[in-house]
Amino acid sequence: MNIVVPIKQIPNLTDELEINGDGTGLDHDALQYVLNEFDEHAIEEAVLAKEAAGGTVTVIGVDTTGELDGALHTALAKGADKAARITGDFPRGTDSHTQAKLLANAIRSLSPDLVLTGVQAADDRDGQIGPMIAAHLGLPYVGVVTGVAVKDGKAIVHKEYAGGLMGEFEVSLPMVVGVQAAHQPPRYAPVSKVRQIAKTAKIDEIAGDEAAGAGSTVRRMFKPEAAGHAEMWEGGPEEVAEKIAALIKEKGLLKG
Amino acid sequence: MSNDVLILAEHLKGKVSDISFEMTGKGRQLAVAFGGKAVAVMLGSGAAALAATLGADSVLYVDDPALAEFNPQAYGRVLAALINDRAPRLVMVGNTSMGMDLAAGLSVTAGLPLMAYVNGLAAEGGALAATSQIYGGKIQAEAVPDGEACVVSCLAGAFPADAGRVGAGLVPALEQIASPVPLADLQIKFVRMIEPQSGDVDITQQPILVSIGRGIGGQENIELAQELAEALGTAVSASRPVTDAGWLPKTRQVGKSGLTVKPKIYLAFGISGAPEHLEGMRGAETIIAVNTDPKAPIFDVAHYGATCDMLDLLPALTEKIKA
């Protein structure tokens, strides 16, 4: 089975996100980029599917940061077999429509049985890449998936709805899946192994064609103004615990 | 192109989802500004009665056995055909489990821009502006489509639901049609619904919840939260990273893909407050948040907050509750 995992790097959300001078985007140069957390799950689910049914896992991304190789090496250390980088003039913050088009063009030539990608990314302002890749390739798509099992040319996928309800679907391969969570937590790749792989791994380079464009223009980017803010309690754990305990007591919620 | 607004109404297990009413209400307002009609679209099998609850200018109900349950491929095909046929000015889809399977794909197949994670929509002089909530709720982006027509996917809770319910003075014309496209050869087949596991504690029924997020650090620290929950006679709930990591069962997950809780006190420890989590707990009576990041969005919805280390706080609080 030929499994392809398109991935995306996004700003690290634990950093302070600064808005650029003209107020229409992030100040990308000031940001550290990390792999989209849902893509971590897609990689894990792909490696699990390979372990269960055999095949190869190819991880592929558009190099918008100049630092994609690190994410690709980590994926290889976690059990992916091949890695590919789409290159071209695609800066940080390249829109989803462009990334999806570039990825779809590259993935088409790989003739995958299964494409697994993160269900969403924090920077998907113009939409998620999974359904767009599926539309470009004319393949069926199911997203918000928490488990994929492949058998006899078909995939059984579990899709989450609200409240823990799940829909089970049977899909003829090839298909594209938007992974919400792998059915096991993503495995850890030791730094030593990633370093080793970085020395020897061959990453295929694919020249990307032109940008598709988001089809919309951001005219203002801003930080949301909260309607309210918590009353902040100063002090260490002891003082804060005292205040919380008092509140619980006041509400009559102490047991016994 | 028409000036109509096409709204995809969702239903699950015989119930119309609130997002449908929220978008219908907003869609009607926008349709007035565009000089068109708000057309709610519902797909189903024998579900005309559900379609009749939508307070749009008109309701288009597409009936086919293949639409009895949500099927992303069947829905995608029918919607693509309707968009092609009716050329609406605006297509509104929920940024929900269902809508997330559809909106971006429709954007590509219909060749329309998509603005996703939308929590604000305005028609200014007949032109649409959409505000998207991105980067985990930390940034708002206000954008305009490059052409006139576009697709938007709307966040749950962004617009009032009551404005989109059928009511006095508004009796929408209900048109029932068969699927405009064949649905017999789908690659996706719905198999069954899987109900959430029962037997675990029902976190929606607890008057107080000890809820933990990524800040718990690792499985070995779950115990600290469990000891506090035990002392309070309640259960530990969590945000998605904790249940995805397998540290707690899915039945304990609060938020968009988990459960909605409304306890008297919600203790949010080490939870940053991603929009998906806030969706499931903002209705709690009193929210107390503890997070080392003073800028965490959880503090915007919490009533009380502190930035001390939750791993020190948990045992200290347990001791005080036991005392």
Q: Is the pLDDT of residue B246 over 60?
A: yes
Q: Where are the domains of chain B?
A: 5-178, 203-322
Whether residue A171 lies within 8 A of chain B, CB to CB, comes out as yes
pLDDT digits (tens, 9 = 90+) for B170-196: 778 999 999 999 999 999 999 999 987
Q: How far is B194 from chain A (nearest CA, A)?
A: 5
Whether residue A188 lies within 8 A of chain B, CB to CB, comes out as no
Q: How many CB atoms lie within 10 A of CB B110?
A: 21
Q: What local confidence, expressed as pLDDT, does residue A80 receive? A: 98
Name the residue type at position B318.
T
Answer for the pair B158, B18: CB distance below 8 angstroms, yes or no.
no
Number of structural domains found in chain A: 1
Tell me whether residue A233 is in a domain.
no
Closest residue in B to A122 (Cα) is B135
Segment A122-147 shows an average pLDDT of 97
In this complex, which of A135, A180, A221 lies closest to B105 when CB atoms are compared? Answer: A135
Per-residue confidence band for A30, with pLDDT thresholds at 50, 70 and 90: confident
Beta strands in chain A (DSSP E): 2-7, 9-11, 33-35, 56-62, 82-87, 114-118, 141-151, 154-160, 166-172, 175-179, 203-207, 216-222, 231-232
Per-residue confidence band for B323, with pLDDT thresholds at 50, 70 and 90: confident
The more confidently predicted of residues A225 and B317 is: B317
Tell me if residue A155 falls in helix, strand or coil: strand
Per-residue confidence band for A213, with pLDDT thresholds at 50, 70 and 90: very high
Per-residue confidence band for B129, with pLDDT thresholds at 50, 70 and 90: very high
Tell me if residue A242 falls in helix, strand or coil: helix
Whether residue A217 lies within 8 A of chain B, CB to CB, comes out as yes
Q: What local confidence, expressed as pLDDT, does residue B169 receive? A: 67
As a whole number, the mean pLDDT across chain A is 95
Q: What local confidence, expressed as pLDDT, does residue B168 receive? A: 61
Q: What local confidence, expressed as pLDDT, does residue A163 receive? A: 75
Q: Is the pLDDT of residue B200 over 80?
A: no
Segment B242-250 shows an average pLDDT of 89
Closest residue in B to A136 (Cα) is B108
Cβ-Cβ contacts under 8 Å between A and B: the total is 295
Q: What local confidence, expressed as pLDDT, does residue B170 receive? A: 73
Segment B109-123 shows an average pLDDT of 97
In which residue are the tokens 């086919």 written?
Answer: B64
Q: Is the pLDDT of residue A51 over 60?
A: yes
Tell me whether residue A136 is in a domain.
yes
Closest residue in A to B311 (Cα) is A237
Concatenate the DSSP letters of all residues of B16-84 into one string.
Answer: E-HHHHHHHHHHHHHHHHHTS-EEEEEEESS-HHHHTTB-SSEEEEEE-GGGSS--HHHHHHHHHHHHH
Task: Tell me if A171 and B188 make a contact (CB, 8 A cut-off).
Answer: yes
Domain B5-178 coded CATH 1.20.1250.20? no
Concatenate the DSSP letters of all residues of B143-181 into one string.
Answer: EEESSS-EEEEEPTTSS-SGGGB-BTTB-PEEEEEE-SS
- Residue percentage of chain B with pLDDT more than 90: 85
pLDDT digits (tens, 9 = 90+) for A106-119: 999 999 999 999 99
pLDDT digits (tens, 9 = 90+) for A232-242: 999 999 999 99
Q: Output the six-digit token pair for B227.
A: 């000891």
Q: What local confidence, expressed as pLDDT, does residue B221 receive? A: 96
DSSP, res B258 = S
Q: What local confidence, expressed as pLDDT, does residue A122 receive? A: 96
Task: Tell me if A217 and B143 make a contact (CB, 8 A cut-off).
Answer: yes
Q: Mutating which of A17, A126, A177 best tests the B interface, going by the most B Cβ atoms within 10 A?
A: A126
CATH fold for domain B203-322: Rossmann fold (3.40.50)
Per-residue confidence band for B18, with pLDDT thresholds at 50, 70 and 90: very high
Q: What local confidence, expressed as pLDDT, does residue A174 receive? A: 98
Q: Is the peptide bond before A140 cis (omega within 30 degrees of 0)?
A: no
Q: Is the pLDDT of residue A99 over 60?
A: yes
CA angle A179, A61, A63 (to 5 degrees): 140
Task: Tell me if B145 and A243 make a contact (CB, 8 A cut-off).
Answer: no
Segment A168-174 shows an average pLDDT of 98
CATH of the domain at A72: 3.40.50.620
The whole domain housing A101 covers 2-207
**Length reported for chain A:** 256
Tell me whether residue A229 is in a domain.
no
Closest residue in B to A23 (Cα) is B141
ipTM of the complex: 0.93
Per-residue confidence band for B258, with pLDDT thresholds at 50, 70 and 90: confident
Concatenate the DSSP letters of all residues of B77-141 into one string.
Answer: HHHHHHHHHH--SEEEEESSTTHHHHHHHHHHHTT--EEEEEEEEEEETTEEEEEEEEGGGTEEE
Task: Tell me if B97 and A222 make a contact (CB, 8 A cut-off).
Answer: no
In this complex, which of A17, A100, A214 lies closest to B135 when CB atoms are compared? Answer: A17
pLDDT digits (tens, 9 = 90+) for A38-47: 999 999 999 9
Q: How far is B116 from chain A (nearest CA, A)?
A: 5
Q: What local confidence, expressed as pLDDT, does residue B191 receive? A: 98
- Residue percentage of chain B with pLDDT more than 70: 99
Segment A163-175 shows an average pLDDT of 93
Task: Tell me if A161 and B251 make a contact (CB, 8 A cut-off).
Answer: no
Tell me whether residue A237 is in a domain.
no
pLDDT digits (tens, 9 = 90+) for B261-313: 999 999 999 999 998 899 899 999 999 999 999 989 999 999 999 999 999 99
Task: Tell me if B114 and A215 make a contact (CB, 8 A cut-off).
Answer: yes
The greatest distance separating any two alpha carbons of chain A, rounded to the nearest whole angstrom, comes to 68
Segment B210-214 shows an average pLDDT of 96
Q: How far is A202 from chain B (nearest CA, A)?
A: 31
φ/ψ region of A30 (left if φ > 0, alpha if ψ in -120 to 50, else beta) reads alpha
pLDDT digits (tens, 9 = 90+) for B77-91: 999 999 999 999 999
Q: What local confidence, expressed as pLDDT, does residue A256 receive? A: 57
Answer for the pair B18, B11: CB distance below 8 angstroms, yes or no.
no
